[in-house]
Structure formats: structure tokens, C-alpha cells
Chain A
Amino acid sequence: MRAIVLLGALVAAAGPAPAQTSTADGIAQYRALLADGNPAELWEAKGEALWKQPRGPKSASLEACDLGKGPGVVKGAFVELPRWFADTQRVQDLESRLLSCMQALQGFDAAAIAATPFGKGEQVNIEALVAYVSAASRGLRFNLPQSRAEERQMYEVGKRVFHFRAGPYDFACVSCHGEAGKRIRLQDLPNLTINPGDGVGFAAWPAYRVSSGELWGMQRRLNDCYRQQRFPYPGYASDATIALGVYMGVQAKGAQSSAPSIKR
């Protein structure tokens, strides 16, 4: 069992520590200890129930929702998002697509959900749904389609949004995520202009954040990045955020998804 092996390794290493144990190693050890028993599993279970439960004004489930691989196909869908959808004629990410399905199939008001603050109302259910959908692709490798002109265009838009400097600090996403070896306090900042590796960066969200005990989807993660840069908040599931997802997802091609993962 992995947990026992990890505990065994820790016991073996529990002798007098060398004077300069790498902090990065310490953090890696801490994260490894948390890998088993990720509270995100509670959201995954809830999300599976919500997917199958008839809800909303139309009293329908989400089982006919097309996440890109056909109606109701959940496994493998996450690692191909964002992508273009014929029924909406738009490139959409997971949250955007859930809104479309919740409106079309269940009768919910997508705009109202988009305007609902994180952690409230239907946003709580979206947390569970993104955990469920992403979990079904755990271990699979990102392979966003770029076969359509619209998808390639969104990639280019995303690249520009990623590098666009603005706000009172003149930051862009690239300010923190454009180079190898950068760090804020103890968190290594992955370089998102390339594939940062399995389960890192784009491949690590949605994630359970231990600091708040909350499950954050990519939309919430991006929202918080904007806040940290002192930008105005982006629209929920707006084209700008979807474009960023296309850019990061295409750059992360081949990386294994570990979502939903566990984070500080």
C-alpha cells in the first residue's frame, strides 16, 4: 500500500537530519503524505450524484450532456477541454460547458449561475461537478484539439492574454509563470508557457486547497490569479478565461492530469 510505503520511507529517513535539508524536499514530502485521502474525493462523489440526479426546472439529469466526446461520455473529456462545440458554436471550457448543459438540459439560468459568487448557490454544485468530471480523466494526458480555426484562434488569443501586462503592478500571467525556477515564498511557480510536467500547473486544477478546505475549479483559480495581479475580476467562464485555458492546455499537451489534486 502506497501510504504504508511512504510512512516506511519516512521512518527510515527519520534519523538526524542533515544541516541543510532542502525545503523543496520537505514540501514534497508533505505533499506526498497528503496524496492519499484527498478530500477532493468527497466532491467527486457528490459530483457523480449530481450528474445523475434529475434537477432544475426541467427535472432532468446531466447524463445527456456532451462534454466533447459525445453525450454522456465523461471519461477522457476533461483532457480535451477547452474545445469547440457545434451546438453553441463556441470554444468552451469545462465550467462553460457545464453551464450550457445545465441550462439546455435542466433549465437552469446559466447567466445567474455565472453571476453567483464562488462557494454559494449552484456554484457549490459546479465545484462537485468539475471534481467528478476531472477525476474521470485522472492519469490521462492532455490533448486539446486544435483542428478547427476557432480553436487555433482561441489559442492565439490566450497567448496574448497570458502575456498582456496591465493593472497597477504592470503584471501579466507571464510575470509569475513565464520562467523556470521562480517561487513565491515556498510555492514553486510552474512555467506555463511550456509543458511544466505531469500533474503540474494546468494539469493540477481543479484542486482541493487545504488552506481553506475548498475545492477550486480552473475558473476560480484564474479569478484568484486576476485578484493577485490586482486586475478587475474576469467574467465567469468568459472568452478571456477560456482562451487562457486553451493556451495553457495546448502548451501542456502530453502532461498527465492529476486533477482534482491537493494544494496548499
Chain B
Amino acid sequence: MQTRREMMRRSAAVAALLGGAGVLPAQAQTAWNKGAFEAKGVEGVLKALGVAKPVESQDIVFTAPDIAENGAVVPIAVSTALPGVRRIAFLVEKNPTTLAGVFEFSDAVETGVGTRIKMGETSNVLAVAILGDGKVLYAQKEVKVTLGGCGG
């Protein structure tokens, strides 16, 4: 009987199959955005991403805890019903490097994602949505970060 681990293993053949299949979103074919990932501060990241100044929007639903027991793992999620959102970037204002990640959405997925980030200290966390027409919207939340005590 196969273990879960064996069932999860797949040969390089699967990876090869992926290579030519389907239409790849533009981002998957571009190099890792070093400039954006090394920028400090929200302004620096937005400039490196080449996007306009964002407008705060209630249509970007951003969820994050009020307080993170440990900054090593902070669960965040974003979702939006707005059509035309191509990419969403997560920014942690006070992190040594502000940009945590950028997600690119095709029409085959709901525009939303949950992930976990690292935060160095209490900071505003932003979800910046970049629309196909160039519009940029955002939502933000302050997440308090504490180290926590000795216990379990």
C-alpha cells in the first residue's frame, strides 16, 4: 500500500509536461524582480514594480490577525470580487525589505490567496492590487508583533 509520501512523489516527466502546456501568465516567464524585493519602504517597492500610487479601496478584502504571537509566521489573506485584478502584492512596511510576495491571477482562479509572511516588528501590512488597466488599489492593516514568552 502506498504511503501518502509516495503518492505525492512525481517524476520529472510531470514537470516536463508542464513546460509546454497552456498559456503562461507573463510573470512566470520574467526574471525574479530583484529590485522590488530589495526595496525598502512602500514607495520604493511600488516604484520598482512600476505601478502608480495606489488608492485605498474597500473592495480589497484584506485579513490579518490584530496581533501575531510570533513574527516568524503571520497568516494573511486577500480576496476581491473586483474584475480585472491581475496581480496582488503583499508589503510589510517596516520589514528590512518591504515586499513579501507578488501573486499573479489568471481567469481560472478566484482573485484571492492566503499565505503566511514574516514580520520583523509591529507594522502596517498592505495588500496592493494591480489591475489590468493600470489602476492600483490597496487595503492595509496594522499587525502587532510580539515575541512572546517562554511557554508553549
Contacts and interface: CB of A to CB of B under 8 A. Distances in A.
Interface of A: 3, 7, 10-11, 14, 17, 21, 23, 26-27, 29-31, 33-34, 45-46, 48-49, 52, 176, 183-189, 201, 204-205, 207, 210-213, 221, 228, 263-264
B1 to A, nearest CB: 9
Given A26-B66, A48-B4, A210-B70, 4 more contacts: A21-B66, A33-B75, A184-B151, A185-B150
A10 B114 CA distance: 13
Contacts of A49: 3, 5-6
B67 interface: yes
Contacts of B152: 187, 201, 204-205, 207, 221, 263-264
23 contacts: A7-B63, A7-B114, A14-B63, A26-B144, A29-B65, A30-B69, A31-B69, A46-B5, A48-B3, A183-B149, A185-B148, A185-B149, A187-B152, A188-B151, A189-B151, A201-B152, A205-B152, A210-B69, A211-B147, A212-B72, A263-B152, A264-B148, A264-B151
Interface residues of B, number: 28
Given A184-B151, A264-B148, A23 B75 contact: no
B8 interface: yes
Given A52-B3, A211-B70, A26 B149 contact: no
Contact of B67 (A27, A52, A188): A27
Contacts of A189: 151
B61 interface: yes
A29 B66 contact: yes
Contacts of B151: 176, 184, 187-189, 264
B63 A187 contact: no
Contact of A228 (B75, B79, B150): B150
B150 to A, nearest CB: 5
Interface string B114-125: 101000000000
A211 B75 contact: no
Interface in B20-55: none
B4 A210 contact: no
A199 to B, nearest CB: 11
A221 B152 CA distance: 8
A52 to B, nearest CB: 6
A249 to B, nearest CB: 16
B65 A26 contact: yes
Contact of B77 (A7, A184, A204, A205): A7
Given A186-B146, A187-B152, A11 B61 contact: yes
A205 B148 CA distance: 18
B81 interface: no
A106 B101 CA distance: 45
Interface in B134-152: 144, 146-152
Contacts of A3: 114
